[in-house]
Amino acid sequence: MNRVNLLFRNFIYFLSLSLLSVQMVQARELPNFTRLFEEASPAVVNISTLSTPKQSRAQIYGPGGEELPEIFRRYFGLPMPEAPSGKPRPMSLGSGFIISKDGYILTNNHVVEGAEKIIVRLHDRSEKVAELIGADKRSDLALLKIESEGNLPVVKMGDSDDVKPGQWVAAIGSPFNFEYSITKGIVSALDRSLPSDAYVPFIQSDVPINPGNSGGPLFNMKGEVIGINSQIFTRSGGFMGLSFAIPSDHVQWAVEQLKEKGYVTRGWLGVAIQEVDRDLAESFGLKKPMGALITQVVPGGPADNVKLHPGDIITRVDGREIMRSSALPMAIGVIEPGDKATLELIREGKRQTVSVEVGELPDEQGPHSERPLGPNMKKNRLGIQVEGLNDDNRNKLRLDEEIKGVVVTGEVTGVGRSIGLRQGDIITNLNNIRLESVKDFDKVVADLPEDRSVSMRVVRGGQSAFITFRLTD
Q: Are 265 and 197 in contact (CB under 8 A)?
A: no
Q: What is the 3-state secondary structure (H, E, C) of the chain?
A: CHHHHHHHHHHHHHHHHHHHHHHHHHHHHCCCCHHHHHHHHHHEEEEEEEECCCHHHCEEECHHHCECCHHHHHHCCCCCCCCCCCCCEEEEEEEEEECCCCCEEEECHHHHCCCCEEEEECCCCCEEEEEEEEEECCCCEEEEECCCCCCCCCCEECCHHHCCCCCEEEEEECHHHCCCEEEEEEEEEEEEEECCEEEEEEEEECCCCCCCCCCCEEECCCCEEEEEEEEECCCCCCCCCCEEEEEHHHHHHHHHHHHHHCCCCCEECCEEEEECCHHHHHHCCCCCCCCEEEEEECCCCHHHHCCCCCCCEEEEECCEECCCCCHHHHHHHCCCCCCEEEEEEEECCEEEEEEEECEECCCCCHHHCCCCCCCCCCCCCCCCEEEECCHHHHHHHCCCCCCCCEEEECCCCHHHHHCCCCCCCEEEEECCEECCCHHHHHHHHHCCCCCCCEEEEEEECCEEEEEEECCCC
List b or e across 436-459, with b for residues whose CB sees 16 or more CB atoms inside 10 angstroms. Answer: eebebbeebbeebeeeeebebbbb
Compute and round to an integer the Cα radius of gyration of the chain: 28
Q: Are 224 and 167 in contact (CB under 8 A)?
A: no
Backbone angles phi and psi of 182, in degrees to 5: -115, 135
Strand partners, 59: 468
Judge residue 292's burial from the number of C-beta atoms within 10 Å of its C-beta, 0-12 exposed, 13-18 middle, 19 or more buried. Answer: buried
Q: Are 209 and 94 in contact (CB under 8 A)?
A: no
Q: Are 228 and 216 in contact (CB under 8 A)?
A: yes
Give the amino acid at 306. V
Catalytically active residues are: 110, 140, 214
